[in-house]
Chains A and B, each alone.
Chain A
Amino acid sequence: MLEDILSIDFTPFVLSFKLAFITTLILFVVSLPLAWWLSQTASKTKPFIEALTALPIVLPPSVLGFYILVALSKNSPIGAFFERVFNIDLVFSFGGLVVASCFYSLPFMVQPLQSGFESLNKNMLEASYISGKGVIETILKVAIPNIKPSLLTALIVTFAHTVGEFGVVLMVGGSIPGETKVASVAIYEMVEMMDYKSAHIYSAIMVFISFLTLLGVYLFNRKIKKIGF
């Protein structure tokens, strides 16, 4: 049993976590201004942007994967642009997976941040403006430190959700070992090849890590609630 565990190829896990890490980082930077804007605006376009952002939650991963695949292929202007300027092929490559994951996990970053920002006392933000501070300084020094639970939820859930994705990854990345074969895809292949023993071990590891991560979030949020901020 121990030998079985030790002999596992951990590359798919490393790939999964690398993908999740990069995706979370990119999404954090992109979503912060978007979530802030959504939380403060009275613009009529807000519901449209919100609906657009939430789309990946309801769309079947195959639909999302299909459109991303079409958009990134060399026949589309986007794919052609990336190939000409950066000389990278985004289809069936790690880079393509990152792009796909960013779309797929966007709502999981934007929504908690937005609701965190919305829950802040408006007078407190105004007090910061009156103190002479601009929007960026207010976000960094007042808004973010006071939405720690939402911030942590956004980061962790985005990370976990990216680790857990399957359909989009399979469609956009395929299953190239060491390049696009992430843990979820590896498990799918094992089951297909009736290698149940490896599938069991991989799946158990996924359950274990996911549970620990979520437990960490909830424990932290409980502690934060007790302190008061």
Chain B
Amino acid sequence: MVFIDIGKKLHGIGGEMELKVSLSIKRGEFLVVTGKSGSGKTTFLRILAGLERGGGVIEVDGEIWQNEKVFLKPQKREIGFVFQDYALFPNMSVLGNLLYVRNDIPLARRLLEITDLLDLSDRLPATLSGGQKQRVALCRALMKRPKLLLMDEPLSALDMDMRIKLQKEISLLHKEFKTTTIMVSHDPSEIYRLADRVVVLEFGEIIKEGSAKELFLKESDKKLFFWGEVLDILKREGESRAVVFVEGKIVLIPISKERVSDLQIGRKIKIGVDASTLFIA
């Protein structure tokens, strides 16, 4: 069980704001924190890690990490941290990066096996791809068998295919080690795939909380938008319709009375579709 109740004044892009987060997380839960940039997500993780000072209480499995009297240094907190930019040690091999944390060769080999990296054990980080580097970082973060795994947008620097592959590995490792995890992410598909619970931060405060299903599916007005170009405007019996080039096709779209005046041939327009009318092709 993790209990968090912290606060800190931040000087963000939009002036001063107060980060105030109060959460309790079950053991083994996978929590995703999402929200606009500048909402305090990274600072939240850094305070949990002890890399930044913030007021309040953090308690993990009955152990106080910080309160009014206590402040454990990052070294003393049992955490793993995965940074967006991997932050591997360039002077150490893949295996060396893992063993630096703890000299536990069987665990290191098991982690590398799960993430398909065993063949690269002796390679230096500079010779790896982005996806491989982030898998090494993930393994390294688990070497201490942390009570809390923190990940700060770990996949945002990777391309789509690599993200999906890594999402599967994160999920695999989570099932295997059951580490309580807090991940910052912006990617809805990633959140849906991984999160047991989602917390949305805005201006430093939790504005929404729930399962990915509740958050993403129950919003009433789901619309999809496309960009198109007006090729022609047809008028017949007082009704106007626009000929629009969109997604490689030419379609005819009725124009409401209010929009007739500002539509011109050659203009770029945004077209909306109600998600409920979609079907699987």
| Partner-B contacts on A (CB < 8 A) | 121, 123-124, 126-134, 141-142, 145-146, 227-229
Please measure, in the bound complex, the distance between the C-alpha atom of A229 and the C-alpha atom of B75, giving whole angstroms. Answer: 26
| Chain A residues in 8 Å Cβ range of B74 | 126, 129-130
A130 touching B79 by the CB < 8 A rule?
Answer: yes
| Chain B residues in 8 Å Cβ range of A141 | 100
| Partner-A contacts on B (CB < 8 A) | 49, 51, 73-75, 77, 79-81, 83, 85, 87-91, 100-102, 124, 126, 137, 140, 143-144
Known: A121-B85, A142-B91. A129 touches B75 (CB 8 A): yes
Across chains A and B, the number of contacting residue pairs, with CB separation under 8 Å, is 64
Sampled A-B contacts (15; CB under 8 Å): A123-B87, A124-B90, A126-B81, A130-B51, A130-B74, A130-B77, A131-B101, A131-B102, A131-B144, A132-B101, A133-B75, A133-B100, A134-B75, A142-B89, A229-B90
Q: Which residue of A lies closest to B150 (CB)?
A: A130
Known: A126-B51, A127-B83, A132-B101. A228 touches B75 (CB 8 A): no
Interface on chain A toward B: helix, strand, loop, or mixed SS?
Answer: helix
Q: Shortest distance in angstroms between A161's beta carbon and chain B's nearest beta carbon? A: 28
Q: Which residue of A lies closest to B126 (CB)?
A: A228
Q: A127-B140, A228-B90 are in contact. List 10 more A-B contacts (CB 8 A).
A: A124-B88, A126-B83, A126-B87, A127-B81, A128-B100, A130-B51, A131-B100, A131-B102, A134-B75, A228-B124
| Chain A residues in 8 Å Cβ range of B79 | 130
Q: Shortest distance in angstroms between B196's beta carbon and chain A's nearest beta carbon? A: 24
| Chain A residues in 8 Å Cβ range of B124 | 228-229
Q: Which residue of A lies closest to B143 (CB)?
A: A131
| Chain B residues in 8 Å Cβ range of A146 | 89-91
| Chain B residues in 8 Å Cβ range of A123 | 83, 85, 87
> CB within 8 A of A129: which of B73, B83, B90?
B73
B90 touching A127 by the CB < 8 A rule?
Answer: no
Please measure, in the bound complex, the distance between the C-alpha atom of A70 and the C-alpha atom of B87, giving whole angstroms. Answer: 50
A229 touching B87 by the CB < 8 A rule?
Answer: no
A124 touching B87 by the CB < 8 A rule?
Answer: yes
Please measure, in the bound complex, the distance between the C-alpha atom of A228 and the C-alpha atom of B144, giving whole angstroms. Answer: 28
Q: Shortest distance in angstroms between A126's beta carbon and chain B's nearest beta carbon? A: 6
| Chain A residues in 8 Å Cβ range of B49 | 126, 130
